[in-house]
Amino acid sequence: MKKHSVFRGVATALITPMQAGGEIDYAAFGRLIDWQIESGVKALVIAGTTGEGSTLSDEEHRRVLQYAVERIKHRVPVIAATGSNDTDYAIDLSRFACDAGADALLCVTPYYNKATQKGLIRMYEVIADAVSKPIILYNVPSRTGVNIEPETYAILADHPNIAGIKEANGNMSKIVETMALVGDKLDLYSGNDDQIVPILSMGGSGVVSVLSNVLPAETEELCDRFFAGDTQGSAALQMKYLPLIQALFSEVNPIPVKAAMAGMGYGADICRLPLTPMEEAHKRILFERMRDAGIRIGV
């Protein structure tokens, strides 16, 4: 039986709205949080890749987590992104998030310095031993240069504080192998919006989604239909929104989704360096795909 599942359905990997000068726009952040919850998503991920956690200062990162916990007020689980390539820092930030009231932690694999599979096991066990809340492992080798192998998941699955996987390696064969080993112990979440239905079909529990920033209710419907047995309807929605998903990843995330959310009135169209504003040609296509999906763009 799976341990303390954090959510089932959609967890939005929230952007961190910013003002034109680069400061965090807490007014827009609060409105975005409320809209997401009202739209039916099942959890919110704070200060992850999409939330530009890598370019938030330590003080900002902690304040964003604290603000989110206080704004959400237990309406949905708060998943704090607290991973780092510095294990001691990951532990410190994770403990802060637990004390602040987060319900779970999202811990990415170490980037730049990377790790062997032995190193991954040891790192995650040390973090999990140090915290009081469940951890979702985040595997995104395209960004970190390291992949969690199925056999490594099998070892980590036995830790009582490790509850799930956000899988963004894109390798369905490896995902099938992983689920054969740990499907009865860990929740599997798609980390790629274009693979939600394939992941669900392998016993997945949902998605940590970029798409749901702009289409929260619709992304949740995609999952809900699958869980209700309407696999054909779920697949139809996966294909319907594929052009928008592709536009949202036409440049490195979160550049396109920040442009999209600015168009919807949530903060300025700005990312912190080294990310730069979206190319105008790509933005035109993105806005066309948003309008095709029924999204109203106000600016």
Residues assigned a catalytic role: 138, 166
Cα dihedral 283/42/15/163 (nearest 10): -120
Q: Report helix, strand or coil for 168.
A: coil
Q: Does residue 274 have a cis peptide bond before it, meaning omega lies within 30 degrees of 0?
A: yes
Question: If you search the block for the tokens 């730049």, which residue do you land on?
Answer: 112
Kind plus residue range of the DSSP H or E element containing 281: helix 280-292
**In terms of Cα–Cα distance, which of 80, 90, 79, 78 is closest to 115?**
90
Give the Å distances, CA to CA, from 188 to 9, 129, 171: 11, 21, 14
Q: How many residues does the chain have?
A: 299
Q: What is the distance between the alpha carbons of residues 12 and 43, in angstroms, rounded to a whole number?
A: 7
Question: What are the residues whose beta carbons fall under 8 Å from the beta carbon of 31, sequence distance 6 or more?
Answer: 266
Question: If you search the block for the tokens 């970190």, which residue do you land on?
Answer: 144
205: phi then psi, degrees, rounded to nearest 5? -105, -5
Q: What is the distance between the alpha carbons of residues 81 and 68, in angstroms, rounded to a whole number?
A: 12
**In terms of Cα–Cα distance, which of 295, 283, 288 is closest to 258?**
283
182: phi then psi, degrees, rounded to nearest 5? -130, 10
Q: What is the distance between the alpha carbons of residues 6 and 135, in angstroms, rounded to a whole number?
A: 9
Report, in this order, helix, strand and coil percent for the chain, each rounded to 5. Answer: 50, 15, 40
